[in-house]
Amino acid sequence: MNLVQELERRRFRWTCISGTLLLGWLMRLVLIARGGLFYNPDEYRYSRSIGFLHSLMQGDFAHALHFCYTYPQHNGSVLIGVIPAAIQGVLDKLGWPPEQTMHIAAAIFSLVPIANALLVYGIIRRLGRGHAAAFLGLFIMSVSCTMVYCSRHLLPYYSGLCVALLTTWWMLGNKPGTWRLVLAGAAAFAVFLVYNGFWSLSLALLGVLVLLRTPSHPSLPVRGAWLGLGYVLCFAGVYLVGQLAATPVSAGGRGANFIRGLSYFSDTISQGDFADGWWLGWAHLFSAEGVLLPVLLVCAAFSFREGGSARMPLFFVLGLYVLLVLGSVVLRHFVVYGRNMIPLYTALIIAGSVGASTLWRKQHGVFLALLLVVILQSAFRYGRVVRQDFPADRLAEMKVQYPDLSLAYSVKGPRPHADGYPAGGRYVFVNYRVLSPIQAPAPVPKGRVLHRWRHPVQDPLYRYNGYARHERSILRQADVEMRLIDTRAEPELR
């Protein structure tokens, strides 16, 4: 069977698309059920969405704005979180347990990367490629590790990417006029609002839209002016609304003033080494995607031979990479984390799918070979991700079995959070939270290890986010596994 030709048939094509999207969502639901919610401290920002919605329901608009502007980073994510917060609120009133409603909220958030996969399909089609190329992009977006593993956490990465993809798909449509250019410029700034760490995506999107020639505005300076106007208007609108929520400066020095809050933005992206910005993101991608990464890079190179709009995704990859290196290595303002590569990898998926379509014109077996690589690599990496344990989940289980549980770390640096846990208990749970910052290995209580679990930082997916080079070295060398120790029993002989 020639799968490339079969995908041109409408019924077969949509069966494959819907089946892939369903598979992708089920993969994410399994991760959510396996645990990991609120492992990342940034996930607690979701509570701002709940507070925002509650204030609106009470008719207190000023206090609702307070949740957006008291801590100005990622303002837009507060609004995006309102939808799952509303559903969660209804379920709470129906008597559902809070733990279950939180998992429902995470399941709703996990629909965003599924929407991203569908948008990638639409973008590849609007770039003039066939259904087979578009399906390849959709398939990788649905099942690849980079696009799956964050779904178990309430983080705005995929939501910010969704805004960028939706804007790109919209602007690739027919006859974008002046009002579309202005709105697209505003959407480019909205990407930054949803997740400030995607500042490079916001600027790269603006740049690509400027270069995207339109019949109604063939002049590059004119397109740039209208897009820039939308960008500035969105910024000004957020600033003016922020003045309605102005409150005295908080104890931490960050007031509700939007511009003042942005002045602290780069201070929050400094956990790591600026000099690593040129390679760390690629190391993260390779740890997540393995052999699929070089395969996509080779395929993406073929898109350059196509010319025209087919080159746009490859230029987008290069533009994003240059901005990340510029911000970290050159300007030394923004450390590159693994999560910064999510937009770049998305553009690489599009570029690779476009380039690969030139290969199977002569040999249809290339398409099946690429699908096989994606399936095998994604299944291998997903197997590791789905088996990952998290401190809070295991600690809750052990607390039930051992009420007098004490807590400890196997590294120096992390602040103790042992409220409600006695010191000097017989049973000690080691490495019970995120291990950050890391200074040096630390001794742990002696005794028999009753249970062991891999800590998330033992996986490069988490180790390449927020750790400096010397910290990653310590994490690789030290025994940072979570474990339960019985201090009154003799250690087992090895």
pLDDT digits (tens, 9 = 90+) for 99-117: 899 999 999 999 999 999 9
Per-residue pLDDT tens over the stretch 297-336:
999 999 887 777 788 899 999 999 999 999 999 999 899 9
Closest CA to 339 of 493, 455, 476, 196: 196
- How far is Cα 408 from Cα 430, in angstroms, rounded to an integer? 5
Least confident span in 49-58, 266-275, 337-346, 431-440: 266-275
Helix (H, G, I), strand (E, B) or coil at 491: coil
Q: CA–CA distance from 490 to each of 424, 430, 451, 454, 479 (Å)?
A: 17, 17, 15, 23, 19
- How far is Cα 466 from Cα 452, in angstroms, rounded to an integer? 25
Per-residue pLDDT tens over the stretch 125-151:
999 899 999 999 999 999 999 999 999
pLDDT (0 to 100) of residue 293: 96
Extract the tokens encoding 367: 């398409």
pLDDT (0 to 100) of residue 256: 46
- How far is Cα 144 from Cα 285, in angstroms, rounded to an integer? 11
Is 421 within 8 Å of 403 (Cβ atoms)? no
Per-residue pLDDT tens over the stretch 367-378:
889 999 999 999
Helix (H, G, I), strand (E, B) or coil at 246: coil
Strand bridging mode 440-441 / 482-486: unpaired
pLDDT (0 to 100) of residue 255: 39
pLDDT (0 to 100) of residue 249: 41
Question: What's the mean pLDDT in 267-280?
Answer: 83
Whether the per-residue pLDDT at 392 is higher than 70: the answer is: yes
Does pTM top 0.85 for this prediction? Answer: yes
Least confident span in 80-94, 155-169, 244-258, 384-398: 244-258
Least confident span in 230-234, 265-269, 437-441, 444-448: 265-269
Determine the distance from the C-alpha atom of residue 254 to the mean position of all C-alpha atoms in its chain, rounded to a whole number.
Answer: 25
pLDDT (0 to 100) of residue 203: 95
Q: What's the helix, strand, coil split of the chain in %, to 5? A: 65, 5, 30
Question: With pLDDT > 70 as the criterion, what percentage of the chain qualifies?
Answer: 91
Beta carbons within 8 Å of 355's beta carbon, 6+ residues apart: 299, 300, 301, 302, 303, 304, 305, 306, 314
